[in-house]
Amino acid sequence: MINQKYYHDIKQFPQQFQRGLKLASNTRLSGSFERIVLCGMGGSSFYAEMINDYLNSNPTNKIKIEPCRSYNLPSGVNENTLFIVCSHSGNTQETLSTLDQIEHHNYPHLILTSGGKLQQRAQQSHAPLIIVPTGTQPRLSTGYFIGALLKVFENYKLLPNTITSNLEQELLTITNQLNPNLDEPAAQQLAKELKDLIPIIYTTENNTSLGRVAKIKFNENSKIQSFYSYFPELNHNEMVGFTKLLMRPYFIIFKSKFTNPHNYQRMDIFLKLMHERNLTGKIIPMKGNSSFAEILNAYYFIDHVTYYLAQEYGIDPEPVDMVEDFKRMLEMGAVQYHNQNKL
């Protein structure tokens, strides 16, 4: 099924970063922060690991984001913790629960949303608020979130000078290369090769966020199962699981220029072992002049692959009907549970 609107939304990814920087340009909070916790679910939080991979590539950086994908805040938080509360819809149950706790303790926080209850509560409490554009699925708003949060960290002087000195120019340079670097015929061909197989995404230790996000894209865009891991860890456990085959996998192995060179040999030997078992896969050299550029290019590529794979299955990539059905059942169950406990 061809969804031209969704295809157009995918194509907006390169322009989102500069817009995200502008959205957060005036966002400020007073305080000294020793810890950063991002409360959010699904597409409203998976970019946290992508930002961490970017920050980890800079040896002078000392901060990282701790994702909180739960109803409850992590242990050990206090007034020196900066909380980022994010829900694209503004109505995510788990995220609103964490905001209740943050407000109860009067912890410093800012809110990212496109509207809903989160926007209302930010306006009531006068919490710093960043409004991201509406009209796209949360999983296609990643550039807005990344640009906005990096600008927030710059504003709060949480980033080392080696990052803040050229943050905007670096993001502009990377994103200007995304469209020219995309090999759309290769994305279409990979989608054809993947049909009726289970995508297994393997990365390396410097870009594990890519594997997780790619897996999510296959789940939500193509509506199929997918799994991920990374070298060298998978050589010590996961690959043994392909001794007795219960499914037909296809291995997508992303090869970074910025990982330990020993991993290249591991990839080659692993794929040789899998080919001997009549299993299919390929090594994809990553494009970009930095580890973060590689991640963004591969992210953009996978969005296209999963879009074309949805076409192969005759599926509309945009809606997530099972998620919406689950939410309705959850809400119905909550009402019934409440009524039962009133008796």
| pLDDT at 166 (0 to 100) | 86
* Residue-level pLDDT at 343: 46
The pLDDT averaged over each successive group of 10 residues in the chain (343 residues) is 94 96 90 94 97 94 95 97 97 97 97 98 96 96 97 91 87 93 96 98 98 98 98 98 96 98 98 97 97 97 98 97 92 71 56
| Alpha helices per DSSP H over the chain | 4-11, 13-23, 47-56, 93-105, 116-125, 142-155, 161-164, 167-176, 178-181, 184-194, 208-220, 262-276, 291-312, 321-342
pLDDT for res 148: 96
CA dihedral 290, 306, 113, 143 (to 10 degrees): 20
* Tally of domains within the chain: 2
135 and 266 share one domain: no
Token representation of residue 204: 């390396």
SS3 label, residue 174: helix
Q: Which helix (H) or strand (E) holds 112?
A: strand 109-113
Q: What's the CA dihedral at 7, 9, 11, 13 to 10 degrees?
A: -150
Residues 241 and 277 occupy one common structural domain: yes
Q: Residue for token digits 């109860």? A: 104
Q: What residues contact 313, with CB distance under 8 A and at least 6 apart?
A: 195, 222, 223, 224
Domain holding 112, by residue range, is 4-176
Say if 251 falls within a structural domain.
yes
pLDDT, position 296 = 97
| Integer Cα distance of 66 and 160 in angstroms | 18
- Which among 176, 196, 223 is the end of a domain? 176
- Decide if 325 is inside a domain: no
In a domain? residue 122: yes
Give pLDDT, residue 30: 80
Question: Are residues 231 and 134 part of one domain?
Answer: no
The 10s digit of each residue's pLDDT in 114-144 is 999 999 999 999 999 999 999 999 999 999 9
The verdict on residue 136 lying in a domain is: yes
